[in-house]
Structure 1
Amino acid sequence: MGRPKEHGAQTRAALLSAAAEILHAEGAAAVSVRRVAAAVGTTTRAVYSLFDDKDGLLRALSVDVAETMRRHHEAVPSQADPIAEIVELALAYRAAALEKPKLYDLFFGTVRAGATQADPLFALVYRSFERVLSVVRRAVADGVFAGRAEFDVGRGLFALVHGLASLELRGVLGGEAEAVAIWRQSVGAMLTGLREPPA
């Protein structure tokens, strides 16, 4: 009979939660194996056993938020109208950011020039973007975004939802109803502009 794991899922979740709290409040430099272990009331051995080191702990947090983004994006059903589908995808981005508010900046930090899908973490991040690109691709092919470049449209939408999420997480967009209205208005206005021939 195999030896039972000394540190299980409950300890892992507690360590990730503690690391997320420290990361959100003080930044990555403040996260240490010793401090995270102390916050949970366990030993550093537990952290090393589950995550290898601090970098492994931070990577696990990055995977957690990237998987949340992927789950929300891929849960959006396909629609005949690409405009309506893109609006729902934007709101899926919002939902993911609100589900993991303390990890949002960590998620966005994985998006950088030179990132490659050879890295499994970035490949996971890219799945959310590809879900949006798949609809944009269809809209370009169908003439909805006539004359537009698929990647440019996707990148512009990403810039917009990132800005909206960043502002909402800092309390700038007001309450729930007001924030949703601003999201819908902003995304809708951009999509209306994209339907016009490019200058």
Structure 2
Amino acid sequence: MGRPKEHGAQTRAALLTAAAELLHAEGPGAVSVRRVAAAVGTSTRAVYSLFDDKDGLLRALSIEVAETMRRHHEAVPASDDPIAEIVELALAYRAAALEKPKLYDLFFGTVRPGASQADPLFALVYRSFERVLSVVRRAIAEGVFPGRAELEVGLNLFALVHGLASLELRGVLGGEAEKIWRQSVTATLTGLRQALG
């Protein structure tokens, strides 16, 4: 008979929650294997067994955010109107950021340009971005963004939603956050629809 796992899914989830709380309250420097284990009432061995080390723990938190992003983006239904679909994708990004507010900054500190496509974290991030690019690609083919390149439009939208999410999570947008998101995304899309030159 195989030996039962000493540290299972419940312990893993508890350790991730404790690490997220420490990260949110005190920053990445406060997250240590010892403190996270103590917060859960388990041994440091549990952390090492499940995540290898502190970096593995932080990476697992980043993967959680990336998976949340993927889930929200891929839940947006296809539409005959690419502009309306892009607006819904932007709001999906917002929903994902709001679902994991304590981890959002960590996530962007972990994601690096030029990451290997074999990296599971990169693969999840790219799936969310590819969901947006697929609509942009279709819109360009339909003449919606005249003279624009797919990646240019995608990066414009990415910069916009990242900025909006960062501001909202810091309380800057106040009670009008969703309205500001819709206005900002719509205005950006209106600009991108104008012919260059």
Q: TM-score, normalised by structure 1?
A: 0.96
Superposition CA RMSD, Å: 1.1
Residue type of the alignment partner of 1:49:
S
Q: How does 1:15-54 map to 2 (within 5 A)?
A: 15-54=15-54
For residue 101 of structure 1, give the secondary structure of its aligned residue in structure 2. coil
Aligned to 2:190: 192
Q: Deviations over 1:67-94 (max 9, x none)?
A: 0000000000100000000000000000
Gaps of 5+ in 2: none
**8 Å contact 2:15–2:36 — kept in the other structure?**
yes
Matched residues in 2 for 1:141 and 1:116: separation?
29
Question: Quick check: 149-158 or 120-129, which moved more?
Answer: 120-129
TM superposition shift of 1:163: 0.5
TM-score (norm 2): 0.96
- The aligned counterpart of 1:179 is 177
- Residue aligning to 1:155: 155
CA displacement at 1:55 relative to structure 2: 1.2
Q: In the alignment, does 2:14 pair up with 1:14?
A: yes
Unaligned runs of 5+ residues in structure 1 are none
CA drift at 1:104: 0.4
Is 112-121 or 74-83 further displaced after alignment? 112-121
Q: How many residues align?
A: 197
Answering whether residue 108 of structure 2 is matched by residue 87 of structure 1, we say no
Give how far 1:120 is off. 1.9
Q: Deviations over 1:113-152 (max 9, x none)?
A: 3223232211111110110000001111110011101101
- Does the CA-based 8 Å contact 2:91-2:181 persist in structure 1? yes
Distance (whole Å) between structure 2 residues aligned to residue 187 and residue 35 of structure 1: 41
Report the CA distance between 1:56 and its aligned residue.
1.1
Seq. identity, %: 86
